[in-house]
Chain A
Amino acid sequence: MPDSRRPVWWAALGGLLALALGTASVVAQSAQETAREIERYREAVADSSPGELWEARGEDLWKMPRGPRNVSLERCDLGQGPGVVAGALARLPRWFADADRVMDLETRLLHCMVTLQGLDPAVLRRQPFGNGEQRSDFEALSAWIAAQSRGMTLAPPLDHPAERAAWRLGRELFFVRGGTHDFACTTCHAQSGRRIRLQELPNLSRPEEARRVLGTWPAYRVSQGEMRTLQWRMNDCFRQQRFPDLVFGSEVSVALVSYLLHNASGAALAAPGVRR
Chain B
Amino acid sequence: MADPMRIRARIEGDQCVVRVLIGHEMETGQRRDATGRLVPAWFIQRVTATTGGRVVFSASWGPAVSKNPVIQFSYAGAKVGDRIQVTWVDTRGDRRTDEAVVSA
Query: Are A and B associated in one complex?
Result: yes
Q: Does B19 contact A (CB under 8 A)?
A: yes
Q: How large is the interface on B (under 10, 10 to 19, 20 to 34, 35 or more residues)?
A: 10 to 19
Q: A56 with B19: in contact, given A47-B8, A48-B70, A50-B68 (CB under 8 Å)?
A: no
Report whether A45 and B70 are in contact in the complex, using a CB–CB cutoff of 8 Å: yes
Q: Assess whether A77 is interfacial by the CB under 8 Å rule.
A: no
Residues B19-64 near A (CB distance < 8 A)? 19-21, 23, 25
- Cβ-closest chain A residue relative to B23: A53
A-B CB pair tally, cutoff 8 Å: 31
- Chain A at the B interface: SS class: loop
Q: Does the CB pair B23–A50 fall under 8 Å?
A: yes
* Contact present for B67 and A53 (CB under 8 Å): no
Q: Which residues in B have their C-beta under 8 angstroms from that of A45?
A: 70
Bound-state Cα–Cα, A52 to B67, Å? 14
Q: Is the CB of B4 within 8 A of A132?
A: no
- The CB with the most chain A CB atoms within 10 A, among B3, B21, B23, B67, is that of B21
- Asked if A57 is at the interface (CB within 8 A of a chain B CB), the reply is yes
Give bound CA distance, A49 to B66, whole Å: 13
A225 contacts partner chain B, Cβ-Cβ < 8 Å: yes
Whether A100 is near chain B, meaning CB under 8 Å from some CB there, is no
Name B's A-contacting residues (CB within 8 A): 3-4, 6, 8, 19-21, 23, 25, 66-68, 70
Listed in ascending order, the chain A residues whose CB lies under 8 Å from chain B are: 45, 47-50, 52-53, 56-57, 132-133, 225
Given contact pairs A48-B70, A52-B21, A56-B4, a sample of 7 additional A-B residue pairs in the complex whose CB atoms are under 8 Å apart: A48-B8, A48-B20, A49-B21, A50-B70, A52-B6, A56-B6, A225-B67
